[in-house]
Amino acid sequence: MYLGRIVAVGMSRDGRAVAGYRVSSRSFPNREIKVDGAKGSVIPKPGFENDIRKSPYIAYNCARIEGSVAVVSNGSHTDHIAEKIASGMNVRDALASVLLAMDYEKDAYSTPRIAGTIDASSGKAFLGIVRKNALIVDEVPVSKGGLFYVSTYECDKVSLEQFDGAFESADPSDACSHLMGKSVFADFANPVGAIAIFSKKEGGFELASLNS
């Protein structure tokens, strides 16, 4: 099954906040995710830089840390959500206002914008999506060893049924492997790259990425 881009939020078995993002692509597979400090970016692989001339949606920051909140998304709205949170707006309103303002992508597929957040301090997690016919932002009840997810296609709603209860990863590197092809994610086609964020028990976050 092809889901396109996927965001996921949840909790590790030892109770750490987790956020993840996976790029799956049929049209632009020659991309990779790079970690740079407290953010992650989707960029063309060397030799494919001209792909950005074909679509304005293929290169963007897909992950950012703002205070105690990890933000993941499938587009440039990552930065706007993080900036709203930095300004003092509550997380739910930051997600809703940015998704409403930026709307779905105006490409040939009317690709939805998706986003997820998790606050390492409160444990609260949200998923959001704006499609051509809907805007949904909802809190999800994270628990140890589980991930809730939303995708641009097929699983394009916020639902408690979109849940992976077999999340065993103990660090962000292994979580990337999980997102790329383990448990429920093994059934999702065309993986290109993944990034995962784990909160640290002493405070802050650690990030890792994996590319096909």
Contact 9, 142 (CB under 8 A): yes
In a domain, 154, yes or no: yes
**Which pair of tokens denotes residue 159?**
């639902």
- pTM of the predicted protein model: 0.97
CATH number at residue 206: 3.60.20.20
In a domain, 1, yes or no: no
In a domain, 188, yes or no: yes
> Each residue of 90-142: pLDDT tens digit?
999 999 999 999 999 999 999 999 999 999 999 999 999 999 999 999 999 99
Structural domain harbouring 179: 6-211
Number of domains in the chain: 1
Residues of the chain with pLDDT under 70: none
In a domain, 168, yes or no: yes
Residues 6+ apart with CB under 8 A from 109: none
